[in-house]
């Protein structure tokens, strides 16, 4: 093994041991750690902002800008939100030890299905340093140890925040190895992590194609959070004022995140009425519009949409628009081009809404609401470790329960099998 792999394996061994201890820790001590962390975040706001300033300076020198800088930036409001999210996680019920089901067999065996931690979870993410805090809060509260691997672009802020997590673990007399930040920016670190299922039970990746490719062939199970190509379909029966507000929010409230709308589908029956007003509002907000031929006939300022546009997660103020002739065409388009993260319909037709709910196979499906609500905090989870587009184990925003599995505990009184 290389020197780097030896170092990582040595740390992973400690993290595995810490996971066994943390799985048995009572809720009160885990909550004490989280409340200490929330206090530390608030007290250390100036230090967090200074560390983030170093990251921003490095990113700007490297020529990064736009949505990338927006995702990377921390300010007082975002720091306050981090502290509140930790407190929200502390206030949530602890899933560990919950009896999911119990029943008694005819032979008298009492079978109990009990919720337990997954073990060691590695979370690999890019750009957004608040993920360091959200991921640690949820994994530790759910009795899991966590390996954090942020991108090199946020190394100063992530290192500072990881220090606060470790201090809070120590204050609560919990093993500091239960939360470990891989601060080495070498891309080989990700390759090493994916080779060690004896130490890591699950990898949750949050990123784009580069991260997807880096994790190809992983020996560790992966619960992916990759592309967020989200759609909004404005049906012919939509309230057009409502539709305008929903579409504007879905695209413009924070375009750099995965639950922002990238493709807008509009029924041909209302396109001539709906699109001009929406286009003016989007243009005033700096949104670049791209559309098919029918869209450009109504919105002359829109650029032609290429075949690649329908499959692109812009994470920026760019929106692709297509006119469709039916809800069937809209559902088929979403199935072909969506990433199954979040898709919405705006309609006053209950039958159309029910069809959309039933036939759109995404982790979150909305009727008359913005896709921007696909978020652990908005779902009442306090925070999230990611938004799973997988079908196994967990789907959608991942909170405390999604970071657990279960085991069967069987109580008998001398039964033997014939």
* Nearest-angstrom CA–CA distance, 244 and 229: 19
Mean pLDDT of the chain: 95
Q: Each residue of 97-125: pLDDT tens digit?
A: 999 999 999 999 999 999 999 999 999 99
- Angstrom distance (rounded) from CA 88 to CA 28: 14
> Quick one: pLDDT band at residue 70, thresholds 50, 70, 90?
confident
Task: Please tell me the least confidently modeled range out of 64-73, 114-123, 368-377.
Answer: 64-73
Percentage with pLDDT > 90 across the chain: 87
**Residue 403 pLDDT:** 96
Single pTM value for the model: 0.87
Phi and psi angles of residue 268, each rounded to the nearest 5 degrees, phi first? -60, -30
pLDDT of residue 394: 87
Per-residue pLDDT of 162-198, as tens digits, reads 999 999 999 999 999 999 999 998 999 999 999 999 9
Under the banding of pLDDT at 50, 70 and 90, the label for residue 22 is very high
The mean pLDDT value for 296-308 works out to: 97
Q: How many separate helices (H) and strands (E) can be counted in the chain?
A: 14, 16
Strands 179-181 and 110-117: unpaired
What is the predicted pLDDT for the residue at 131? 93
Share of the chain above pLDDT 70, in %: 100
| Cβ-Cβ contacts under 8 Å for 116 (sequence gap 6 or more) | 23, 96, 97, 143, 404, 405, 406, 407
Q: Which pLDDT belongs to residue 271?
A: 98
Max CA separation in the chain (angstroms): 80
In the Cβ-directed half-sphere of 27, how many Cα atoms lie within 13 Å? 11
Which pLDDT belongs to residue 1? 82
User: Where does 195-239 have alpha helices with state H?
Assistant: 209-214
Across the range 54-78, mean pLDDT stands at 91
Q: How confident is the model at residue 65 (pLDDT cuts 50, 70, 90)?
A: confident
Residue 143 pLDDT greater than 90, yes or no? yes
Question: Which ranges constitute the DSSP H helices of 64-173?
Answer: 66-72, 76-91, 130-141, 155-171
The full set of domains in the chain, from first to last, is 3-223+398-411 (3.40.605.10), 230-373 (3.40.309.10)
**Cα–Cα distance measured from residue 331 to residue 336, given in angstroms and rounded to the nearest whole number:** 9
What pLDDT sits at residue 148?
A: 97
């Amino acid at each position: 093994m290389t020197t780097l792999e030896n170092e990582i394996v040595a740390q992973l061994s400690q993290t595995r041991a810490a996971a066994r201890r943390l799985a048995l820790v009572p809720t009160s001590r885990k909550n004490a750690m989280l409340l200490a962390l929330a206090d530390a975040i608030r007290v250390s706001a100036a230090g967090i902002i200074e560390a983030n300033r170093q990251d921003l300076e490095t990113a700007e020198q490297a020529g990064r800008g736009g949505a990338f800088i927006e995702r990377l930036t921390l300010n007082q409001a975002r720091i306050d939100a981090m502290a509140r999210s930790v407190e929200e996680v502390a206030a949530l019920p602890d899933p560990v030890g919950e009896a999911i089901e119990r029943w008694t067999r005819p032979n008298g065996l009492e079978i109990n299905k009990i919720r337990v931690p997954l073990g060691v979870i590695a979370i690999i993410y890019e750009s957004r340093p608040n993920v360091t805090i959200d991921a640690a809060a949820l994994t530790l509260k759910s009795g899991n140890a966590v390996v954090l691997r942020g991108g090199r672009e946020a190394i100063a802020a992530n290192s500072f925040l990881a220090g606060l997590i470790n201090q809070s673990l120590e204050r609560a007399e919990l093993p500091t190895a239960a939360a470990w930040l891989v601060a080495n920016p070498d891309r080989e670190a990700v390759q090493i992590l994916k080779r060690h299922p004896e130490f890591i039970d699950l990898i949750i990746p949050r990123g784009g194609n580069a991260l997807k490719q880096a994790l190809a062939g992983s020996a560790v199970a992966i619960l992916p959070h990759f592309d967020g190509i989200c759609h909004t379909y404005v049906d012919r029966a939509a309230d057009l004022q409502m539709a305008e507000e929903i579409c504007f929010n879905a695209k413009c409230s924070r375009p750099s995140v995965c639950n922002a709308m990238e493709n807008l589908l509009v029924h041909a029956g209302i396109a001539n009425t709906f699109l001009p007003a929406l286009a003016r509002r989007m243009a005033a907000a700096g949104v670049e519009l791209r559309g098919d031929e029918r869209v450009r006939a109504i919105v002359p300022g829109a650029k032609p949409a290429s075949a690649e546009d329908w499959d692109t997660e812009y994470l920026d103020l760019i929106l692709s628009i297509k006119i469709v002739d039916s809800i069937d065409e809209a559902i088929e388009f979403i199935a072909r081009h969506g990433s199954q993260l979040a898709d919405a319909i705006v309609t006053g037709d209950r039958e159309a809404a029910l069809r959309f709910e039933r036939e759109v196979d995404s982790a979150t499906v909305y009727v008359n609401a913005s896709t921007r609500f696909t978020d652990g905090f908005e779902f009442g989870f306090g925070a999230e470790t990611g938004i799973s587009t997988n079908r196994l184990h967990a789907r959608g925003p991942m909170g405390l329960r999604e970071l657990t599995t279960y085991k069967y505990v069987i109580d008998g009184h001398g039964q033997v099998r014939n």
